[in-house]
Amino acid sequence: MTLVCFVTGVGNATAKELSSTEALVNRLVEESQKHQKTRPGDPHDLLRQAETYAVELASDVSAYNHWMLQIIQGYVKKGQIEEAEYLVDRLPGYGSAQAHALLALHYARLHQADKTEPHLIAALKQVDQMSGLSAENLRSQCILALYHLGRKTQGDAEMGKLGRLSLLSLETELHMQGLVPAIKLLDAKRRLVSVPDQGEDERRARFLLACAEQQFVNGEPDLGKAFLEEIGMMSVQNGLPNAQRVLLDLARVARMGGQEQLAKKSLNLFLKCCEAYGDGADWKPIFMTDAVGVLLAWQQNDQAQEWLKQAEESMAKVFVLEAPAAYLAIAHQHEKLGQVQEADDLLLAALKAGASYKHPRARAEAEVRVCLYFSEAGRAMPAQISKFFSQATAEVAQ
């Protein structure tokens, strides 16, 4: 198995021992926690707690890496870069490559080339051993880092290794971050000629949105408006409203560019799409809370409250495995409104939902999510939630 050589301390194990999946998982858990005994810093830090709960996901390397990357990102956001650096090489499989790419991009955005370089080298070395979409996503992160450092030639060479759809997504990011010159609509349409219409309307629309936003940022409202009109034509011809998530970003960008009528129309259409879904649609409450976020940004708090209530009401039939993510999304909007108790009640509900599902992964993911939530919110866990964590830990230990 290729992941063996990347697990800290596993390289010297016997082939016989590593032939057992159970032995490998046990070793992963052991190694991931061994450093806690001598590790500096606060062991009660919320992100450190999240690490502990993430270990319960070790039997699923993909899930374990996903949440550990979220934890590393949490350390970066809080400015605890030493903690992030500490974890980079402690992820199994290609998780370490993803972590190196994450830190490379972080340092590159700060134009700290000396700190970027070792992470960039480590990420690119591993990505050449990978394949598929995960490899292309990782390579795209490295290219973004190179562009932030002004190393366009090297970045362009790496671009040649991307598939055309991943390349378009990367170009969308480059325009969003202002790392390439703004282009006019005609040039953008020429760029899209090689992208198939079928099934890729959302990807095409997001590219056009990024170009529009860049023009608005550059003080060119008329050029930006032309892109929005093109997306409108696409919606009529191809049924773009089915790519629902585009509508919310279209509303945001349109308002940014002073196109109030289009912004309201797009948001209302998004909300109508939400209403059309049955309450059993797992994504319905999350979509609604995304709209609430836009309404709050537009200072339309009364309408935001109404949709937040509908989002909560739609939770009744959500599949329990998906429930924690929805509860946290709703809690986040309550937090913005200063409704801390309501947020805490939902966070407790998320933990209970995770604990009610038979597979231990559901419990662990819910626990990690809640730790990350409080870390980002910058406040301590209330007693009711800390008590739940203590009880859950005791139950697992039995």
Q: How many residues does the chain have?
A: 398
**Beta-carbon-side half-sphere exposure of residue 346 (alpha carbons within 13 Å):** 29
Classify residue 128 by its DSSP letter.
Answer: T
For residue 232, what pLDDT band results from cuts at 50, 70 and 90? confident
Q: What confidence tens digit (pLDDT) does each residue in 329-377 have?
A: 999 999 999 999 999 999 999 999 999 887 888 899 999 999 999 999 9
Least confident of 27-41, 168-182, 287-301: 27-41
Q: What confidence tens digit (pLDDT) does each residue in 241-293 have?
A: 456 778 899 999 999 999 999 999 999 988 988 888 877 777 888 999 999 99
Q: What's the token pair of residue 381?
A: 């866990």
Domains in the chain: ranges and CATH: 182-276 (no CATH), 278-389 (1.25.40)
Q: What's the token pair of residue 29?
A: 């858990």
Q: What angle do CA 151, 153, 154 make, to 5 degrees?
A: 70
Q: What confidence tens digit (pLDDT) does each residue in 85-143 have?
A: 999 999 998 899 999 999 999 999 999 999 999 999 999 999 988 888 889 999 999 99
Phi-psi region for residue 239, left (φ > 0), alpha (ψ -120 to 50) or beta? left
Classify residue 381 by its DSSP letter.
Answer: P
